[in-house]
Amino acid sequence: MPQITLDQGSVRYRDTGGDGEAVLLLHGYLMSGELWKPVADRLAPEFRCVTPDLPLGCHPTPLNDGTDLGLPGLARLVADLIAGLDLRRVTLVGNDLGTAIAQIVAARHPERVGRLVLTSGECFDNCPPIWFRALVPAARVPGLLPLLFRFLRLRATRRLPFAYGLLTKGALPHDLIDDWLECLFGDPRVQRDCAEVTRNFGPAALLDAAERLASFDRPTLVAFARDDRIFPFAHGERLAALIPGARLETIPDSRTWVMRDQPERTARLIREFIRAAPADTASG
């Protein structure tokens, strides 16, 4: 898997290649970019899909000591990744915590974004969601977070609401989760990065982004899952009303992982959105 070296450290990513317009797909907490594969595979014949492994706890390579892993720092890393890979007029797509990061990239680094797609994820004051708020104080105690996450090694416990259970209507991708946990438990420096990300959770950066996005002028699609139990559809409606000209779409019969529950509809929405806002009319 290719990787790029940034000031923050090395970031691995998947790249379908090709000459099509670039789509950068951001994943959530304790996950990897591989989660987007069902959508990337559907878009790849027409678009170049890049799915990085963000430093959100299950990344294969730890970042440099002292890297800013608050939400604004993660947004800076994504902006630097876009620049480093020369992804001009990129369509930036977020899900779960990746939606929070995508909002902050668009708000603080709009010159890096050609189009914005926000699927179900953190926004406004829903960061972290109520099911996961206990992780923030736990992350402040050295060594406690990895200890708490050991229960995820048991496949039977992954369906719990405070694990992966509320993220999908379908079967959990256990082989994929096994790979994520291997990264988390395989390197104490990855655990350090995970703790740093977690202790910095909070709504301040997202509330600031919401104010800035009120003047965001790039084409925007908001596509939230109607049945999401973590990220309310009403938040998607609020986002779409806030961002000038944003288009709102519903993804039915899906929870947070729209790329797993409804890959065909998710890919079609992204494809049609890009076609409707060609590169020569998308700033960035």
- C-beta separation of 13 from 1 below 8 A: yes
What kind of architecture, by CATH, is found in domain 3-281? 3-Layer(aba) Sandwich (3.40)
CA 277 to CA 178: how far, in whole Å?
Answer: 39
| In the chain, where the domains are located | 3-281
**Proportion of the chain above pLDDT 70, given as a percent:** 98
pLDDT value of residue 284: 43
CA 13 to CA 240: how far, in whole Å?
Answer: 29
The predicted-structure confidence for 29-61, as pLDDT tens digits, reads as follows 999 999 999 999 999 989 999 999 999 999 999
pLDDT value of residue 279: 56
**Proportion of the chain above pLDDT 90, given as a percent:** 95
pLDDT value of residue 277: 85
Q: Which helix (H) or strand (E) holds 85?
A: none
Structure tokens at 96: 């779960």
| pTM score, whole prediction | 0.97
**DSSP codes joined into one string, 111-163:** GG-SEEEEEEE--TT-SS-GGGTTHHHHHTSTTHHHHHHGGGGSGGGTTSTTT
Smallest Cα–Cα separation from 106: which of 213, 245, 204? 213
- C-beta separation of 266 from 252 below 8 A: no
The predicted-structure confidence for 61-115, as pLDDT tens digits, reads as follows 999 999 999 999 999 999 999 999 999 989 999 999 999 999 999 999 999 999 9
pLDDT value of residue 281: 44
Q: CA angle, corner 4, sides to 177 and 172, nearest 5?
A: 10
The predicted-structure confidence for 246-281, as pLDDT tens digits, reads as follows 999 999 999 999 999 999 999 999 999 999 987 544
Q: What is the mean pLDDT of residues 117-141?
A: 96
